[in-house]
Amino acid sequence: MDFTLSDEQRMTAEVTAALLADRCTGADLRRLMDSGAALDPVRWRALVEMGLPAAMVPESLGGLGLGEVDLTPVAEQCGFAALPEPLVELAGVAAPLLAALDHPAARAWAGRIAAGEAMAAVGHSCQPFVAGADTADVLVLCRPGEILLLNAETVTLGRQPSIDPFHRLFAVAFDGGDAIAAARGPEADRLAALALDRGALFAAAQGIGLAQRAVDLSAAYAKARVQFGKPIGANQAVKHHLASCQVKIEFARPVVLAAAAQIGQQDIYSRARVSHAKLAALAAADLAGRTAIQVHGAMGYSWATDVHVYLKRVLALTGAWGDEAFHRRRVSARIKGRALDPGQVFAVETA
Amino acid sequence: MRLAYTAEQDAFRAEVRAWLADHVPAERLASFDTAEGFQAHRAWEKVLHGGRWSAVTWPEAYGGRGLDLIRWLIFEEEYWRAGAPGRVGQNGIFLLAPTMMEYGTAEQKARFLPPMASGEEIWAQAWSEPQAGSDLAAVRARATRDGDHYVLNGHKIWSSRAVFADWAFGLFRTDPASERHKGLSLILFKLDAPGVRVVPIQQIDGEAGFAEIFLEDVRSPVDQRLGGEGEGWTVCMATAGFERGLMLRSPARFQAAAARLVALADRRGADAVQEAAVLQAVMDADAYALSIYATASRLIAGGKIGAEASCNKVFWSELDVALYRAALSIKGAEAELTGPTEAADGWMDGYLFSLAGPIYAGANEIQRNIIAERMLGLPKG
């Protein structure tokens, strides 16, 4: 039993954080928002050069061969920065899914992603639209009983506006004749289930980062903003709002890390843990996002302050990769279906 | 990161489970806040000590097993799973002892820890005073040096277990000219020493779970001071760190209660609102357990507990209230009944006790101040 991150895992997250602190500031986000472009090529190149898209691609395909636990703290930092580019879904969902498909075209795409030469987006029957489809070279569509590969040139995309300007959602239309069925039947469903869990896990990890960013911005504002002759942060009413957010973060982060460590079980326990992680992290992010607006007062309701950017990312992630009702049902299934005695916290399904 | 028990840890769990199956009393003991129940719980502490299970993280020399915190968590999981009695000795074993290990002299450890482990000497905390509750640094009780003794005078209050306990660890002002956090010392005294008067306070449940302690020229030898003279505040805050952070409330306590809540909802049926509350209670108990496993791993790797201990205290106390409140909702019109059958199921008692959680060990308002000031850097009010 060891519930700690390694020095290497912590360091990767720190390096990511430093890069994003430099290249993904509020001003950077506004510049991209105003331009309407899908990504900032300089920032994207820096992330690719760090090797992040290759993280979860096996070494045999030119990747780094890392796992969910390695990428979770990185995803948290991407959330903290509200990174517009779809790095987390590319590295955490699309690339390992392509690498696991037993089809040469799929593995070739995984290799190209690892090399920083291609991007992919994943459509999934758990959600109506495909995020990041416009920057993808290949689309992977997980449908009941089949996983399809579609060359981006063969599809028609219909933009679906999101409250989060960086959550670029698309309806995808295609002619069935262009699709490659890379998996079918139980194998397709197994890989689709894992893709959903990864999507939910990394959305949760981003939720933790977003929540912390909302709290940090609010704490900084509460120290600087003076009313009645003192910083508003000296008032207990303000302190207690932010402390309640921090408590929620502290008790969501270990759930997210545990979900990352257990995701490979793919059993009733790991699915419930991933769902708990998604619910807890986004609940923390929801509270922190709303509290940030309140602590910033009228400034918080203005376009000029950055807090709404983070709040909108929270709103976008809350329903992504399984909505709240879906994840509550999965936790409920575990609670009703298996023993709950103390000592079951790391339970694994035995055949 | 490896979230699986080793074979040795599994074997340890099996050993604990087998011992508890053989020794846990079949009948629930009377409340330890009654004279009869206190003695029954003291007897249980002796049984636990006989199996060397009363203080598993302590060094073997003092009656423990020298186990790490992961094994402590496993022990606690089995203890709560078995429905074993509440720990009447917890103030000593989980709060005073870790502080004594850090600040006590070799003589103090040899003198006080073994009888603490065996239940022969049960301890109460004597910190709060009528005007010093959340504002603990306002304590006035004085310890005046007289040769090789301190002479203790003052009025302590809200001392849990003090009605029947043997010893107390108290915070006293040793420097009469001092103010606030300075000039305080932690001094141990016997509750039956001449000049000590213990007056029970009836609690919300009608029992005398805590007491006032009046001290009038009570003599305590200087070698019963824990830590240096004037260092009492630092020593107390170390205790408070253990108290809020880890050992006062093990996760298994809430997991066991959550499992009972699920069974209750299953038996009686629950509507959508109650189902949601049950789900949240189970998730929160689980989150608390995961967080404590993470903290335990970090401490084993050489880390320390900081202000996040305050987050723990806020989280477990609030989850506890919500959990018991959900149970009362599910029990519906029968929730208010207090006859023998209802009292035995414990939900109303548990609910009332849960309301103390956000108050004791530092009120949650104070904890939120600590979180805001020390973790988030907000200015003091």
Residue A30 contacts B where some CB pair is shorter than 8 Å: no
Within a domain: B183? yes
Q: Verify whether residue B243 is a known catalytic residue.
A: yes
Cα B10 to Cα A296, A349, B71, distances in angstroms:
51, 16, 10
The pLDDT score that the predictor gives to residue B243 is 56
Q: How confident is the model at residue B242 (pLDDT cuts 50, 70, 90)?
A: low
Nearest to A95 by CA among A130, A126, A137, A129: A137
Residue B332 lies in a domain: yes
In the beta sheet, which residues pair with residue B160?
Answer: B210
pLDDT value at B95 more than 60: yes
What mean pLDDT, rounded, does chain A reach?
A: 97
Q: In the numeric block, which tokens belong to residue B363?
A: 């009120």
Chain A, nearest residue to B299 by Cα:
A4
* B227 and B259 inside one domain: no
**Does residue B243 lie within any of the structural domains?**
no
* Residue B214: strand pairing partners: B155, B197
Same domain, B330 and B214: no
pLDDT tens per residue, range A58-88: 999 999 999 999 999 999 999 999 999 999 9
Q: Are A137 and A152 in contact (CB under 8 A)?
A: yes
Q: pLDDT tens-digit profile of A131-160?
A: 999 999 999 999 999 999 999 999 999 999
Would you call A12 an interface residue with chain B, using a CB distance cutoff of 8 Å? no
**B222 and B255 within one domain:** no
Inform me whether the C-beta atom of residue A250 falls under 8 Å from chain B C-beta atoms: yes
| Tokens found for residue B371 | 């979180």
Tokens of A236: 């207990």
In angstroms and rounded to an integer, the radius of gyration of the C-alpha atoms of chain B is: 21
Report the CATH number at residue B268: 1.20.140.10
| Domain assignment of residue B239, yes or no | no
Q: Decide if A238 touches B, using CB distance below 8 A.
A: yes
**Interchain proximity A257–B291, CB inside 8 Å:** no
Report the 10 Å Cβ neighbour count for A220.
14
pLDDT band, very low/low/confident/very high, at B244 (cuts 50, 70, 90)? low
Query: B104 in a domain, yes or no?
Result: no
* pLDDT for res A251: 98
For B253, the closest chain A residue by CA position comes to A342
CATH number at residue B176: 2.40.110.10
Range of the domain at B201: 123-231
What's the token pair of residue B68?
Answer: 């790490």
Same domain, B225 and B272: no
Of B6, B13, B376, the CB nearest to A343: B13
Q: Is residue B221 part of a domain?
A: yes
- Check residue B381 and give its pLDDT: 83
pLDDT of residue B343: 74
The stretch A92-102 carries a mean pLDDT of 98
For the record, the structure tokens of A158 come out as 């219909």
Domain limit, last residue, from B172, B197, B231: B231
Percent of chain B with pLDDT over 70: 98
Residue A293: how many other CB atoms lie within 10 Å:
20
Q: How many CB atoms lie within 10 A of CB A261?
A: 22
Q: Report yes or no for ipTM above 0.90.
A: yes
Pair (B306, B348) in one structural domain: yes
pLDDT digits (tens, 9 = 90+) for A9-54: 999 999 999 999 999 999 999 999 999 999 999 999 999 999 999 9
Strands A138-143 and A146-151: antiparallel
> Residue B287: inside a domain, yes or no?
yes
Q: Are residues B219 and B156 in the same domain?
A: yes
Phi-psi group of B377: left, alpha or beta (phi > 0 → left; psi -120 to 50 → alpha; rest → beta)? left
B371 domain-assigned? yes
My answer on whether B366 and B332 are in the same domain is yes
Pick from B9, B284, B365: CB nearest A1: B9
Q: Do A240 and B368 touch (CB under 8 A)?
A: yes
The domains found in chain A, sorted by start residue, are 7-186 (1.10.540.10), 187-337 (1.20.140.10)
Residues B295 and B326 in one domain: yes
pLDDT single digits (tens) B181-221: 999 999 999 999 999 999 999 999 898 889 999 999 999 99
Count of structural domains within chain B: 3
Q: How far is CA A143 from the centre of its chain?
A: 21
If asked whether residues B144 and B58 sit together in one domain, one would say: no
What is the pLDDT at residue B175?
95
Q: Are residues B139 and B23 in the same domain?
A: no
Residues 8-27 of B with CB under 8 A from A: 9, 13
Write down the pLDDT at residue A195: 98
Q: Are residues B275 and B321 in the same domain?
A: yes
In chain B, the DSSP E strands lie at 123-126, 142-146, 149-160, 167-173, 184-190, 196-201, 210-221, 225-226
In the block, which residue shows the tokens 């390096």?
A15
pLDDT tier, B341 (very low <50, low <70, confident <90, very high otherwise):
confident
> What's the rounded Cα separation, in Å, for the pair A112 and A93?
15
Calculate the CA A19 to chain-centre distance: 18
- Residues 6 or more apart whose Cβ sits within 8 Å of residue A18: none
Kindly name the residue from B243, B318, B336, B342 that is annotated as catalytic. Answer: B243
Q: Say yes or no: B256 and B366 in one domain.
A: yes
Q: What is the CA radius of gyration of chain A?
A: 20
pLDDT at A339: 94
